[in-house]
A and B are shown apart, each in its own frame.
Chain A
Amino acid sequence: MSQAATASPPAPARTARGAGNTGDIIFEWACRGAGVLVLILLGAIIVELFIAGLPAFRAFGVGFVWSTEWDPVQEVFGAGVSIYGTIVTAVLSVLLAVPLAFGVAFYLTELAPPWLRRPVGTAVELLAAVPSIIYGMWGFFVIVPAFATYIQPTLIDTLGELPAIGFLFQGAPFGTGIFTASFILAIMILPFIAATMRDVFEQVPPVYKESAYGLGATTWEVMRGVVIPYTRVSVVGGIMLGLGRALGETMAVTFVIGNANRITGSLFGPGNTIASLVALEFGESETGSLKLSSLLALGFILFVLSFIVLATSRYLLRSRLKA
């Protein structure tokens, strides 16, 4: 190769190739530089949030994570309530969204007539495009009144009477609260989970399904016996993706969660999440104050939480990414 190049290269050809090489080197390094910039960006977000939260971590120690106090007057801050609210709303929203998302994905891959698949699929995906603040407004002006007048009184009268789990459904039907926030979150993450499930269901080799149908299995039996075992890992990955999205949702939750810094046993009680607390309290914090630092420390904790969940999701979905 090099021998051939040094043997008899015509001079103009060499300059042309040389120019191309310079362009190549510049372009390749521009691309690589942009790639590294993305890495630096993520690193910088983590480091900046940690540094900014350091005064709070120093002042309150590790106890910051589970302390339930939030008293701006005494300057005592703890993350316990908002971490509890974040995790409870996110998990509850996943529990509500997964059955729906499974139904949608099953319908779109196996049941719907082909001409209906694209419009219905697009409509469900459009749910993901609606901005968070619109969900907040819709939740506040439509869902909250509906919950306060119809759904919550009914649930309080029925499920609230049950032993053992009854306490979860007791209290006054304000309409706002943890349950309403989870409900809105469930609608918001539904399209993400459903889209992932649909994509992986479609990747099951048709031969497997046809074999099961050939043995006389019903559609549901094919789904339960062939499709779900084949796609199990990716389905969990899709659910984790939904969980990761639910953890950090801000505007929609802020509108409907009731914003109270206490842990109530009932799901109908008010609460807050890390994101909603930061969004609400940020404007009232002075630069350099311990409160601001506590809010940024909360941001750091939220980042760690979402990072773990999203990284797990991506690890579980890796086979799908390669395909």
Chain B
Amino acid sequence: MSSITLSAGAVPGPRKDPEVALRLGRRRKTTDVVIRMLCVIATLIGLIFLASILATLFYRGFEAMNLRVFTHNMAPPGSEGGLLNAIVGSLIQATLGTAIGTPIGMLVGTYLAEYARGSRLGDVVRFVSDILLSAPSILIGLFVYQILVLPFGGFSGWAGVVALAIIVIPVVVRTTEDMLTLIPNTLREAVIGLGSPKWKMIVFVCWKSAMSGIITGILLAVARVAGETAPLLFTSLGNNAWSTDLTKPMSSLPLAIYAFAGSPFEDWIALAWAGALLITLSVLLLNILARTLLRGRK
């Protein structure tokens, strides 16, 4: 070791040429600077896309936004319609879907974090839940069509709710498990040491201390299902009239946007932009809210 260090001053081989060394160094520096620049440009491109989407939405959305959007139902082109039924439909379906999916997702996440650490079944459940998280949502729509729409004779709000609930589950599973694994084991041991049964430890201590993280997961899940279109195409179908009956086809904002944006009518396209602005703003706000909650925790 020391002999190498000592002989480092006199390396055998050709003599170091200062001219070559200088050029080599310069080339390495240039490559470094060029690649740094390219990375900054790549980041800027990403930000420009986001800015362009938001700018387009604000520009075209605000133009079309007025009170009528919130007070009138969808109507034929040229007759001053709004988006009221679509907004209400979206709220109903997203709320119910989250309400059904969240408890299941929380239980699965709890199972993975508290009961199944290192177990084979737990690994399989985690794997399947991760696949469901990224699986194409249109397939969930097709699945619910097969099990709920065909046998029960028609498109319905309930079918849409179930499809959204299936999308909610893996999102909540992921965050619940992540948050519960962060809780130190000493806390669990302290609770068990006081003589509490395990379920009380989980519900009153683990869930409670992971609450902000779990709420983050729920917010992200709501944001995700609020913008889902594909699974609703084959389940709740969409409805141009006012309807809060979950056994009938039901409208929702994404479906209304899809129907209106592809139409040739100016006023429908304008309404689609208003709807798009509404939905994007709520989704982005939910996301930012979720992130702030999580940051407060860390």
Contact = CB atoms under 8 A, between A and B. Distances in A.
Given A107-B39, A132-B230, A287-B150, A37 B254 contact: no
B107 A34 contact: yes
B39 A106 contact: yes
A78 interface: no
A194 B42 CA distance: 11
A21 interface: yes
A151 interface: no
A65 B235 CA distance: 27
B241 interface: no
B46 A31 contact: no
Contact of B40 (A45, A107, A125, A248): A107
Nearest to B121: A35
A275 B230 contact: yes
A100 B46 contact: yes
A84 interface: no
Nearest to B25: A216
A296 B145 CA distance: 10
Interface string B126-166: 01111110111111101100110010000000000000001
Contacts of A314: 127, 130-131
A129 B223 contact: yes
B32 A310 contact: no
B46 A111 contact: no
B5 interface: no
Interface string A269-282: 00000010011001
Contacts of B108: 31, 34-35, 37-38
Contacts of B130: 310, 314
B242 interface: no
B111 A31 contact: yes
B135 A48 contact: no
Main secondary structure of the interface of B (DSSP, over half): helix
Nearest to B146: A48
Interface residues of A, number: 91
Contact of A35 (B112, B200, B258, B273): B112
B135 A306 contact: yes
Contacts of B136: 247-250, 275, 302-303, 306
Interface stretch (B63-71, B74-82, B243-251, B276-284): B276-284
A221 B27 CA distance: 12
Interface stretch (A1-9, A66-74, A116-124, A153-161): A116-124
Contacts of B125: 35-36, 38-39
B138 A134 contact: no
Interface in A105-159: 106-108, 111-112, 120, 122-127, 129-138, 140-142
A257 to B, nearest CB: 13
A63 interface: no
B226 to A, nearest CB: 8
B104 A37 contact: yes
B229 to A, nearest CB: 5
Contacts of A52: 142, 146
A299 B197 contact: no
A131 B226 CA distance: 8
Contacts of A104: 39, 42-43, 46
A190 B45 CA distance: 11
Main secondary structure of the interface of A (DSSP, over half): helix
A139 to B, nearest CB: 10
B151 to A, nearest CB: 11
Contacts of B98: none
A20 interface: yes
Interface stretch (A22-30, A164-172, A201-209, A227-235): A22-30
Contacts of A287: 150
A132 B140 CA distance: 15
Contacts of A60: none
Contacts of B168: none
Interface in B266-298: 272-273, 276, 279-280, 283-284, 287-288, 291
A244 interface: yes
A303 B139 contact: yes
A23 B94 CA distance: 32
B46 to A, nearest CB: 5
A162 interface: no
A167 B280 CA distance: 39
16 contacts: A27-B203, A39-B124, A45-B139, A49-B146, A123-B46, A126-B287, A130-B227, A131-B254, A220-B31, A250-B138, A251-B230, A278-B138, A299-B138, A310-B130, A310-B135, A314-B131
Interface of B: 28-29, 31-32, 35-36, 38-43, 45-47, 49-50, 52-53, 56-57, 60, 104-105, 107-108, 110-112, 114-116, 121-122, 124-125, 127-132, 134-140, 142-143, 146-147, 150, 166, 169-170, 173, 196-200, 202-203, 223, 226-230, 233-234, 254, 257-258, 261-262, 272-273, 276, 279-280, 283-284, 287-288, 291
Given A133-B276, A250-B230, 20 more contacts: A20-B200, A26-B199, A27-B202, A27-B203, A35-B111, A35-B122, A45-B140, A101-B42, A104-B42, A107-B39, A124-B50, A125-B287, A127-B50, A131-B283, A132-B229, A275-B136, A303-B135, A306-B134, A311-B131, A314-B131
